[in-house]
Amino acid sequence: MLSAFMAFLEPGDEVIVFEPFFDQYISNIEMPGGKVVYVPMHPPKDGATKTTSAGEWTIDMDELESKITEKTRMIVLNSPHNPVGKVFSKDELQAIGDMCVKHNIIILSDEVYDRLYYVPFTRVATLSPEIAKLTLTVGSAGKLFYATGWRVGYLIGQEHLIKYVSAAHTRICYSSVSPLQEATAVAFEEADKRGFWEESKQEMKGKMDRFNQIWDELGLPVSYPVQSSSLVLSLADLFALVLRPRRRLLRPRQPLQSQATSRLPFPTPRRQPSARLQAQLVLHQGAGRSGDSAYGVLYGG
C-alpha cells in the first residue's frame, strides 16, 4: 500500500479514509505529503443497547461526496473491513465506485481478508470497466495463511496503474524474498485443492462464537462481525465491568471519544480468570478520530 501511495500522491493531495481504520494507512499517506480526509462509518442507532451486525454500520454517501475536492486523489476502501468486521454490500460498493468514476479518483481497495468472510463478498473492481480502470486491489498472503511475518503481499490492477506502483516499489524495498514468494504461490494452489478457505472460515467462526459467549453472559451488546476475527463493543460498558472490579482508574484528558480503542486478545494459557476478566485491556490511539461514542475493538486469532 505504501508503494501505491508513493506512486500517485504529491504533497497536498487528499486521500479519503473511512474511520475507524487500520492505523498504518495514515503514516503511509502522510509520508509522500498526502493529507488524510476522514469520513466516519456510522454504527447502528441501537448498537449501544443490543447486539447488532457489523453489516449494519453505514456510510452516508452525501457526506462522503461532500468531502471530495479538486485535491482528492485517492480513496481507501477496506472490505472485508478491519476493525469493524463489515463486508460492504454490492450496492454500497457500486455507489462508492460510481462516485470515484464521476470525480476521477483512484480506489485503493484493501481486500487482505478476501477469504475470511461469512456473507457474500464483492470485489469493487468487478462492478464495471470504468471502476476497474481506477482500482488497485490489495491482497496479503500473510493474512490469508496466518503467516504475517512473511510480509508477502500483492496488488491487482490494470497496467496503466500498476507500472507506477512497480516503479515506486522497486525504490522502496528493491526486492522480495523469493522462497517466500514461491511458497505463497504453492500455498494458493494447495488451498484450493484441500478446501483450506472454507476450513479457515469455519475455524475462525467457531473461535469467535466461543469468545463471544463472554459478552452474552455479561449482557454486553456487541457489533458482531461478518468478517474474520474482530468485533466492536461500547467502551463505557466494558470499563464498568472490567476496569472497576480490578480497581483501575482511568483519567482521560478529555471525555471518551472514538480515538480510544481497545484491543482484547483471546486469553492465553497463563491466565484463567473469570469470564468478565478473560480479556486484557490495552488502550491505543489512532484507529478512529471522530464521533460521540467510544467503541472497543476485539481481536482474536
Instruction: Print pLDDT tens along the chain (301 aa).
Output: 999 999 999 999 999 999 999 889 999 999 999 999 999 999 988 887 888 888 899 999 999 999 999 999 999 999 999 888 889 999 999 999 999 999 999 999 999 988 888 788 899 999 999 999 999 999 999 889 988 888 899 999 999 999 999 999 988 987 778 999 999 999 999 998 999 998 988 888 888 888 888 888 888 888 877 766 677 776 666 666 666 554 444 444 444 334 334 444 433 333 333 333 333 333 333 355 544 445 555 544 4
What does the pLDDT read at residue 97?
98
pLDDT (0 to 100) of residue 283: 31
pLDDT, position 203: 87
Report field, pTM of the whole predicted structure over 0.75: yes
Kindly state the cell numbers that stand for 84. Answer: 469493524
**Residue 267: predicted pLDDT:** 38
DSSP state of 42: B
Spell out the residues 6+ positions from residue 2 whose beta carbon is closer than 8 angstroms to its own.
Answer: 28, 31, 172
**Looking at domain 2-190, which of 3.90.550.10, 3.30.420.40, 3.40.640.10, 3.40.50.1820 is its CATH number?**
3.40.640.10
Q: For residues 145 and 160, what is the distance between their CA atoms, to the nearest angstrom?
A: 30
Q: Residue 201: its pLDDT value, please?
A: 86
- The amino acid at residue 69 is T
Edge-to-edge strand ranges of the sheet holding 35-40: 35-40, 14-19, 72-78, 106-110, 135-140, 153-156
The per-residue pLDDT for 235 is 66
Q: Are 104 and 131 in contact (CB under 8 A)?
A: no
CA dist list (Å): 92 to 57, 89, 127: 11, 5, 11
* Domain boundaries, given as residue ranges, for the chain: 2-190, 197-299
